[in-house]
Chain A
Amino acid sequence: MKIKDTVHFQWYKTLFVAALLALCLFGSIRYTQADFGQLAGNISQVSVFLRKLANPDFGYLGRLIDPMIKTLKMSALGTVLGVLLAIPFAFLATTVVTDNPVVTHIFRFFLNIIRTIPNLLLAALLVAVIGIGEATGVITIAIFTFGVTSQLIFETIETIDMSPLESAMAVGANKLKIAVWAVWPQIAASVLSYAFYAFELNVRASTVLGYVGAGGIGVKLNEALGLFRYERVFMIILFIFAVVVIVDAVSEAIRRRLR
């Protein structure tokens, strides 16, 4: 760092950035019709809500077990489908195997678009196209998993050790053989850990999927919210949180044993 790079010599740059941020902030405050007076005036609503949260309805837990198992099944199935679909696409999105930058760019662009669609909008769209139900939930989870894991997998493929590829090429392996015998063994463990990561994300996202009627524990959450039963809402969120922690611990244990 040169002395010219310090704050004292670049104050005009800092000032410019600060002014720009302030302008954006005031613009967004005006545009969103923010009214902190209203927030302060109705803060009692929050305290009502917090009081209900403070004593979750533990008796409701019994009726949550079945929807939770359904959510876990949907997530497991969707995750596996999504990851299986993501693997070939991830290979196509790197130049390592295809050796063709045009194909790589097309597939990367496609994967970027899939990843950009927020999963709630994706669920809403699929509900409209396919219809309401658990099957739609599985497909939504699969597409969402596909978006998340394909990027992680192709980033991993780019960092692999190239020497096995060269030796495979030297003995005359074709591209499919290189992918299966030189690349896959190097990334298999990472793919498995991404699958567990995606599974965890999907269990979390189940709250959202229920909102569009795609089955599982989210439907219960939606019901409780609609009836303003916040003590149940908190119970459901607590339960999801506990399940996520357990899923995390189990996947950690499995990954450690496989290593």
Chain B
Amino acid sequence: MRATARIKRLGIALGVLALLVWCAWDIDWSSFRYFSWGSFRGTVMSLLRPDWSAFYTGSTEDIFSLMVMTIAIGFFGTSIGTILAIPFTILSARNLWKNPVVPRIGKFVLDVLRAFPELVYAIIFIKVVGPGPFAGVLAIGIHQVGMLGKLFTEEMERMDETAVEACQAVGANGVQTMFFARIPQLMPIYASLALNHFEIAVRSASTLGLVGAGGIGATLIFAIQAARWPRVSIILLTVIVTVFLLDLLTGWIRKRLR
């Protein structure tokens, strides 16, 4: 028995190894041919010397104001996402409808909204409102509707129905049970989820600049293309520190909401 188990385990391990070798075989490793340790070390060394003077120059194009812009895009996008997610949640929560078709349609719409990456939304909205931060806001907003709508619906379906039943027992209608039983119970959870997605939104807002949707990403990509490593490192440092601080802040608020 033990021998067969061991052979089986060995077989699985060999199979996985063979699969990995097959994967590695087919990948084009040629970009390593131009790789030299000397230039790599040079890049890393200049990345370790951030260009502090670029952080704040007083103009609207310095890294500080671009980071504030990125946070604003994240905040506005999350606000749009949170507000628009609520009607979708009401549409797609199974426990709010006697008819099983309506929630299925709602969930399908949310799945479709989530299937598109933010970058694709950003490119579409750039065509609609022109390049700039507003395109980024709309891209993040629409993507967040799909994300938050799904999470909100799951929380709605998982909620404790006793308060709802108590309200119905004393004759409350649908709107009244919504306001007096469902919302008080779900509000802290929804606020917590929205805060968590605000942090995620800031992180993705910092990348949307790559396609021209505002924020710090465009500056970063130009700096990378021009190989201005001290500038790259101050931008990355700003993004990392900001996201880290937001993580701490939203974590603190979320802990208090519970």
State in angstroms the CA–CA spacing of A217 and B133 once bound together.
Answer: 28
B19 nearest in chain A by CB position: A76
Select which of B20, B184, B224 is within 8 A of A80 by beta carbon. Answer: B20
Q: Are A128 and B26 in contact (CB under 8 A)?
A: no
Which residues of A9-30 are within 8 A (CB) of B?
A: 24-25, 27-29
Closest 9 pairs (CB-CB, A-B): A133-B31, A28-B72, A32-B133, A73-B23, A28-B76, A120-B207, A131-B31, A31-B72, A128-B224
Say yes or no: is B86 at the interface (Cβ < 8 Å to chain A): no
- In Å, the complex CA distance between A74 and B22 comes to 11
Contact present for A121 and B31 (CB under 8 Å): no
Across the interface, do A125 and B137 meet the contact criterion of CB distance under 8 Å? Answer: no
Whether A77 and B23, one on each chain, are in contact in the complex, defined by CB atoms closer than 8 angstroms, is yes
- B224 A125 Cβ-Cβ under 8 A: yes
Which residues from 125 to 164 on chain A have a C-beta closer than 8 Å to any C-beta of chain B? Answer: 125, 127-136, 138
Chain B interface residue count, CB cutoff 8 Å, equals 62
User: Which residue of the partner chain A has the closest CB to B133?
Assistant: A32
Report B's interface with A, CB cutoff 8 A. 19-20, 22-24, 26-32, 34-35, 40, 43, 68-69, 71-73, 75-76, 79, 115-117, 119-120, 123-124, 127-130, 132-134, 136-138, 184, 203-204, 206-207, 210-211, 214, 217, 220-221, 224-225, 227, 232, 236, 239-240, 243-244, 247
Which residue of B is nearest A206, CB measured? B117
**Main secondary structure on chain B at its contact with chain A?**
helix
Query: Given the complex of chains A and B, what is the CA–CA distance between A33 and B138 in angstroms?
Result: 12
Complex contacts, B20 vs chain A, CB 8 Å:
76-77, 80
Q: Which residues of B contact A38 (CB under 8 A)?
A: 128-130, 134
Residues on A with C-beta less than 8 A from B69 are 31-32
Contacts of A28 in B (CB 8 A): 71-73, 75-76, 79
A sample of 29 cross-chain residue pairs with beta-carbon separation below 8 angstroms, ordered by A number, consists of A24-B75, A25-B75, A25-B76, A28-B75, A28-B79, A31-B69, A34-B134, A38-B128, A38-B130, A38-B134, A39-B128, A70-B27, A73-B27, A76-B19, A76-B20, A77-B20, A77-B24, A117-B240, A118-B203, A118-B239, A120-B119, A120-B210, A128-B43, A130-B35, A133-B28, A134-B28, A138-B27, A215-B28, A221-B120
